[in-house]
Structure 1
Amino acid sequence: MGWVRPVINRSDRILLAIMLVVFLWMGFQAYQHFSLIDTISAGDPSPGVAPKPYHPNPAAPLRIETQTWEAAPPQSEGKEWVYDVFTPPVIYYNPVTLQFTVSPPEFEPPVELTEDSFDLELLEVRPQPFRLQLVGYVGREGDHLATFESVSTGESLVGRPGKRFDTVGVTLRTFELRKESIPIGGGSAPVFDTVAVAVVYDEETGENWVLTDRTKAMLPGPEAVFRISGNPIIEYLLKEGAEIANGRQTYIIDALILSPSQATITLSDPDLPEPITRTVYPVPRYFDPGKSRSATPRR
């Protein structure tokens, strides 16, 4: 048997040459990559990379615009109803008027009223005596002096016709003694008694009054005794139309009724939108009846 000689044609040689070139190129690329990794691991700067100088750009200046807000206008309810952004008005509820009131924080807040703002109490309604009462006479027959008493002060006054009593504004016009019969039942004969009678002129009303020492002269309208609930020690003697002040409050006596005892009063207060009218009735005095206490008259 003879040797068999391989036969390599032309195309096989070309393919082998291409494969050899590709192998050599891949080996060269691998060598470059491994060299770069070793250089970075050693801390050397990257080859062929040069740092560029840093030049900061200046910042543009900020332009801040401000605006002033106009003052908040009042609402239609009134000049104090001002709703500002950070300072709304303080709102108060009035249980007496069943309304709301406001006041801005820069103003003094209004006084809050209590459940019952009526501090005037009625103690008594009674007949109103004339301010000068005839109590008797002194002197001999034909030369008598009439004796009177001032209701407000208890002072005794003595005088003859024509005498003017300055403290009460009354002038004595006439004075006489009369015999008046006193009726007695059972068909008995009448008994006569001496009665002092004086006619006086009232400077306040411009009228004449007939006074006797038997009966007390009374005015047509009654009078009433009041007190302030916060100060029960002091009492006030008031007539219809009289006024009394208690702090910022003012009470007006509109009407007095003797039976049943009652008084109609109007309260005025700057913190109220309008006056309040109320009818009040007597309350207990709560004091020792053995101790006397006089009322302070008010006109």
Structure 2
Amino acid sequence: MGRLCGKRQTISFTLYTDSYLFTRQATDLSFGISWKELEKQPDDILDLAENIARKKDLQLVICIDEFQNIMQFGNSDAFQQKLRSHWQNHQQVAYCLYGSKRHILRDIFSDPSKPFYKFGDLMLLDKIPESEWIVFLCRRFQDTGKTLLPDDARLIARLADNHPYYVQQLAQQAWFRTNDECNQDIVLSAHEDIVNQLSLLFANSTEKLSSFQINLLKAVLSGEKQLTAKDTLEKYQLGTSANVVRIKRGLIENEILDDTGEELSFLDPMYKYWLQKNFFKK
């Protein structure tokens, strides 16, 4: 798997080899490239993985995380077109392009006007099921000589809404507070501490929202499904149905809400909790 490192002049590869049936060895290979030389022959870099794969008779998979950040590049469409013109001809390298901002990735691969339109299969991953989190968390606590009961593992997963980052952060904070056996009070205390640590960030983000956006968030938190219905528009002072569409689009672009096609949901479960218990409660 190849990855671009912090310095733009360096490319680093981690090569995995299975030398024994149950032994996996990793080898790091790093080399420097002059940026001046790179500017002269940019096509060589784009074809580097394919050339290595052909020479070594390998099948490679290149994984690029947070691929949606390509939209922030100068003249992004031209760069995307250049990438595709090379990658679509590669026979021994497959590309796994993924990221955390679903709506941007959907635009990159589903917009007919974009270079990466239908470049490959588009997969929208569901959250890791609660049942799998329970098994994983209990086992990880057990591996360190501590006990986490299934009910408390379930509580961790639910408080974090099965969000991978927050599940692991909450579990870690609960683990730090546990001597021998974790319990509900420890989990709840760890959860409150995480939310309190983020409260200033949440408050600053909320101050930047318009009154219409805040009203829509309140409607979503209240479980309203028909946001453009007349009663909902009046109850939450949302204006017109067209205004709701604009508000919703803005909240999605600001990565506060996500539209799964069935309902609107909060991307950050801790922010959702903070709004419910701190902002709207006041």
Q: Tell me the TM-score range normalised by the shorter chain.
A: under 0.3
Calculate the TM-score normalised by the size of structure 2. Answer: 0.18
State the structure with bigger RCO (CA 8 A, min sep 6), 1 or 2.
1
More helix by share: 2
